[in-house]
Amino acid sequence: MTRHEFAQRQRQTADLFARAHIVITPREREAIEIADFGVGAFEATGLGILVYVNTDRVCAKELAMLPGQTCPEHRHPTVAGKPGKEETFRCRWGTVYLYVPGSPAAKPLGKPPAGREKTYTVWHEIVLRPGDQYTLAPDTWHWFQGGPEGAVVSEFSTRSTDEADVFTDAAIRRAPEVT
Amino acid sequence: MTRHEFAQRQRQTADLFARAHIVITPREREAIEIADFGVGAFEATGLGILVYVNTDRVCAKELAMLPGQTCPEHRHPTVAGKPGKEETFRCRWGTVYLYVPGSPAAKPLGKPPAGREKTYTVWHEIVLRPGDQYTLAPDTWHWFQGGPEGAVVSEFSTRSTDEADVFTDAAIRRAPEVT
């Protein structure tokens, strides 16, 4: 993505946090991460992220999703005998469609990004609205999507090590590339 | 505390969360914990607490403090070789005065509860306003107090095991007693 796109996406993310009445500092505003997962279609496959803390033991973040924007299917595996990341997602604003293994939704509310449908394999649907939350065990396949207005989600977890994440879609690259 | 006092204090805590625009479910509203630390003077020594999640690895809570209300000095020690709780406090609303070991404030903004001054021994002052946060290493003495309007603080941490906490004030009992 270009620097201009990056700045615009940081602004969109900050706007979503503001709608959720989440106060961030000017320095945090500048530190917002824009993940396009290497797909190059941020509005479809992407996430705005503010990491509050990420120590050896604990991580806390805010996530922002545009309407219909998807964080692609992935899991956090055991690495060197250490259990993978355990995550709790708490919806603060908007609606989130979260998909995990289990009985598939007959008529899911979420829809994978066009052309990438085959890389979405878990279809048990959990709908999170403000005040709702869900805790994922380590190494569980999951993906999630912002609802009609988008969403803001707090994530409480063990240490984040994005480079260890495993994605169903082989085209995914976790690190953002700003050109 | 009586059931009437307990219900009133839950209401005060929920009101503070609402001022911080934190959305909670009706079930969470009922699950708000009221800690008076066994001192029996909640407005001076106390805390309203909503635990979002507390697994073996991760804990997240919201804390509410009335104006001038104090969470008394304590630390989270190593137990059975396991490092104590590591905590990040993030102010969401109001002002928090946080005290940790280090160079003492010449004119601290916070004031220990009357009659209990001798049980407050660390005086390095950190003032947290909305968007500010501070991460405490395990086993660090600390206490904190709500500013003039009170405060709402998010806590991101490793597992909470309140029964392991060590308080400077020998009169403190962590478990609330509702009569």
- Gap between the Cα atoms of B1 and B37, Å rounded: 11
The minimum CA-CA distance between B9 and chain A, rounded to whole Å, is 21
Please, what is the Cα angle at B71 between A155 and B122, to 5 degrees?
A: 105
Token pair 């390095």 is found at: B124
Count of H-run helices and E-run strands, chain A: 2, 9
Span A164-171, average pLDDT: 93
> In chain B, what residues touch A130 (CB-CB under 8 Å)?
23
pLDDT of residue B50: 98
Closest Cβ–Cβ partner in B21, B86, B135 for A21: B21
Span A127-135, average pLDDT: 98
Do A23 and B92 lie within an 8 Å CB cutoff? Answer: yes
pLDDT of residue A44: 97
- Gap between the Cα atoms of B160 and B76, Å rounded: 9
Q: What's the token pair of residue A104?
A: 């598939």
pLDDT of residue A1: 87
In this complex, is the C-beta atom of A27 within 8 Å of any C-beta atom belonging to chain B? no
Residue whose C-alpha is closest to residue A24's, from A12, A37, A14: A14
Please, what is the Cα angle at B21 between B65 and B57, to 5 degrees?
A: 70
Q: Evaluate whether ipTM surpasses 0.90.
A: yes
Check residues A163 and B174 and name the one with the higher pLDDT.
A163
Do A24 and B90 lie within an 8 Å CB cutoff? Answer: no
Strands B47-54 and B33-35: antiparallel
What's the one-letter identity of residue B136? L
pLDDT of residue B177: 56
- Gap between the Cα atoms of A68 and A46, Å rounded: 10
- Gap between the Cα atoms of A69 and A144, Å rounded: 8
